[in-house]
Amino acid sequence: MRAFLQRGFLILLCLAGCAQPPPFAVTSASIPPVPAGMARMFIYRTLEPYETTEMANVYLNGQWVGASANGAVFYRDLPPGQYKITIPRTEAYPNQFKTVVLRPGQTAFVRIESLSTWTACTVIVNCYPTFIVQLMDPAQALADMRSLALRAG
């Protein structure tokens, strides 16, 4: 009986190791519709295993809206208007921040990328990665986000 239980446990352990969480997909079932009169912005970072794991604090018009994690996506519903997307505490990089104008019902997709080769260091152990903001084509963004974890931000 004991050998039977051990084999059963090993089989369950193997099956659990094969289980994969379902990939994130932006569908009407997984994400609620944009509220009436609002716009939506998805902010994501593709999984970059050789880049920094540091969170990128994202600001819209100077107000903090969330922290972008490596391999994750979050979204915010916003009033229509113009938004400057910035990530402070980084070395200056050409065109690293973007401005987008959102209309009611519109969805924007923003990809955050870390540039480990463009780093600000105060001393050798206090290096801060540089993050850049990219406005993405919806089709490319949806493809990028399929395997990312949905986070609260």
Instruction: With cut-offs at 50, 70 and 90, classify the pLDDT of residue 29.
Output: low
Decide: 131 and 85 in contact? Cβ < 8 Å: no
- DSSP structural state of residue 51: S
* The one-letter amino acid at 35: P
pLDDT at 18 over 70: no
pLDDT at 51 over 50: yes
Report the share of the chain in percent with pLDDT over 90. 47
pLDDT at 8 over 50: no
Give the per-residue pLDDT at 11.
43
Domains along the chain with CATH numbers? 36-150 (2.60.40)
Q: Give pTM, 2 decimals.
A: 0.76
Higher pLDDT, 107 or 146: 107
| Rounded Cα–Cα distance for residues 76 and 110 (Å) | 11
How distant, in Å, are the alpha carbons of 77, 81, 85, 100 from that of 61?
15, 10, 7, 11
